[in-house]
Amino acid sequence: MSYRSRKPLPRRAALLAAAGLLGGLLTVPTVTAAAGTPQACAAADADIYRPPDHATAAPGDVVACRRVDSLPMVVGGPPSDAWKVQYGSTDGRGRRVGVAGTVVVPKKPWTGPGQRPLVAFVPGTLGIGPQCAFSKQLAGQYQDAYEGPNIAALLNAGYAVAATDGQGYMDGQVHPYAVGAEAGHATLDMARAASRVPGSGVSPDAPVGIWGYSEGGSGSLWAAQLARSYAPELDVVGSASGGIPADLKQVAANLDGKFFAGFLMDAFIGLSVTHPDMPFDDILNDSGRKAVQDAESLCAVGTVTRFAGARVEQYTEDGLTLDQLYALRGTDGSTWSEVVDQNRLGAGVGTPGSGARYEIGFPVLQYRGLADEVIPAETGQSTRRAYCAAGITTQWTPYLGDHLTGDAQSIGDVVKWLGDRFDGTETKGNC
């Protein structure tokens, strides 16, 4: 049976059309005197999430920004200044896009050596609709996220934080969940943007650490792999990644029909967003079309609840299994299997000068909960082995918790590990 390439579902088509209409009729207020140099952060909140009609901002340039009075999700953090930011980035095909995020800087002056360090933070799974954006949740507009303590710990250590929402969280968009290049670019460009926010005091020469868990673990490790080629001017000194869905096929097999099957639904939708020429909409049955609409309207908890125990066969006309889906080809001849494998972490990594596709010249921390029910143990171990075999300085740390608690258990250790990198403390890892 042959399948046509993807065309937008009615709901998504309406959203995209509305976004395009708004982009043509409404323009983001001019906040820049020159590219990437805003005069003041006085944009309306809606301006942060309105995608440009034609994105032209260079990677890391600030398009719009506004001060945030409080971050109620960041309980226990020190007095800080915060800004919502829309900034330029590029998608996996090199096309310019707009992305939103949050920059937070402690009010207390930095008293350590050199410039105040900056941590580029990548949130874990939130949901794929724009209502789930991390910047909205941090500011108290919606509450489904769980990593306020991570942000508070970084701020209490004196570090500035640049937390990306990730691509696809602006009005009328769908987040490309678990897609590597988009996540890595958004993270690195958020770090670039932090120094370009008026009044942030973040230096473009600041040492940069990267941190993320779960989907954020994937995004942070992709940022580590892409840093040298995509953002060579950033002084990245280390990257911490936990609960990493490094091999999407292994993770999918573990999720299908299980309690966290909603993550699998989000992943296929996310991949269909970045690969519109692959078969997707036309293979769905009525249940599948309803499932896509539900996934785009829910956030993390709702997604887990809605799809608990679901199997992919329920949502296609022919009851296709994962292996059968992987065999389907798009209009360019690529299979879904090949598309999924393009997002496998640990492949093609090496040290500077090795000629590897992804050269990494700084230490990497990888960790997981030993009772993780979402990410198979082999997924984490194989990524660790690949990094060690490539000669990349790698620290591996296991925790006793499951997928959710493993994140919370790691906070103190990760902040200390990043602090050691900022201090210039050498590490040999534990390969």
User: Mean pLDDT across the stretch 105-117?
Assistant: 96
More confident residue, 46 or 25: 46
Does residue 395 contact residue 427 with C-beta atoms inside 8 Å? yes
The confidence score (pLDDT) of residue 39 equals: 60
Confidence of residue 275 (pLDDT cuts 50, 70, 90): very high
Does residue 206 contact residue 330 with C-beta atoms inside 8 Å? no
Confidence of residue 18 (pLDDT cuts 50, 70, 90): very low
More confident residue, 353 or 26: 353
The Cα–Cα gap between 95 and 89 comes to 8
Amino acid letter, 339 = V
Domains of the chain with CATH codes: 36-247+347-423 (3.40.50.1820)
Q: Which two tokens stand for residue 312?
A: 């992919």
Confidence of residue 240 (pLDDT cuts 50, 70, 90): very high
Q: Which of 54-63, 140-149, 154-163, 414-423 has the lowest mean pLDDT?
A: 140-149
Look over the chain and give the mean of its residue pLDDT values, rounded to a whole number. Answer: 91
Region label for 61, one of left (φ > 0), alpha (ψ between -120 and 50) or beta (otherwise): beta
Amino acid letter, 27 = T
The pLDDT tens digits for 66-79 are 999 999 999 999 99
List CB contacts of 97: < 8 A, sequence separation 6 or more: 51, 55, 88, 89, 90, 91, 167
Confidence of residue 35 (pLDDT cuts 50, 70, 90): very low
Q: Which residue has the tokens 């020190």?
A: 78
User: How many CB atoms lie under 10 A from the CB of residue 9?
Assistant: 17
The pLDDT tens digits for 359-398 are 999 999 999 999 999 999 999 999 999 999 999 999 999 9
Collapsing DSSP to helix, strand or coil, 200 comes out as: coil
> Distances in Å between the alpha carbon of 389 and those of 25, 349, 350, 394, 417?
54, 9, 9, 10, 22
User: Mean pLDDT across the stretch 17-40?
Assistant: 38
Q: How far separated are the first and last CA of the chain, in Å rounded?
A: 48
The confidence score (pLDDT) of residue 143 equals: 79
The Cα–Cα gap between 349 and 357 comes to 6
Nearest CA to 260 out of 309, 299, 312 is that of: 309
Inform me whether the pLDDT recorded for 24 exceeds 90.
no
Report how far Cα 105 is from the mean position of its chain's Cα atoms: 21
Inform me whether the pLDDT recorded for 23 exceeds 50.
no
The Cα–Cα gap between 219 and 36 comes to 24
User: Mean pLDDT across the stretch 129-152?
Assistant: 94
Collapsing DSSP to helix, strand or coil, 372 comes out as: coil
The Cα–Cα gap between 326 and 334 comes to 10
User: Mean pLDDT across the stretch 188-213?
Assistant: 98
The Cα–Cα gap between 108 and 79 comes to 8
Q: Count Cα neighbours of 122 within 13 Å in the Cβ-side half-sphere.
A: 35
Burial of 306 (0-12, 13-18, 19+ CB in 10 A): middle
Residue 179: which H helix or E strand, with range? none
More confident residue, 191 or 4: 191
More confident residue, 8 or 229: 229
The Cα–Cα gap between 127 and 145 comes to 10
Inform me whether the pLDDT recorded for 422 exceeds 80.
yes
What percent of the chain has pLDDT above 70? Answer: 91
Nearest CA to 384 out of 217, 267, 260, 223 is that of: 217
Q: Which of 8-12, 98-102, 144-148, 250-254 has the lowest mean pLDDT?
A: 8-12
User: Mean pLDDT across the stretch 261-287?
Assistant: 96
The Cα–Cα gap between 143 and 83 comes to 18
Q: Which of 10-24, 47-61, 255-269 has the lowest mean pLDDT?
A: 10-24
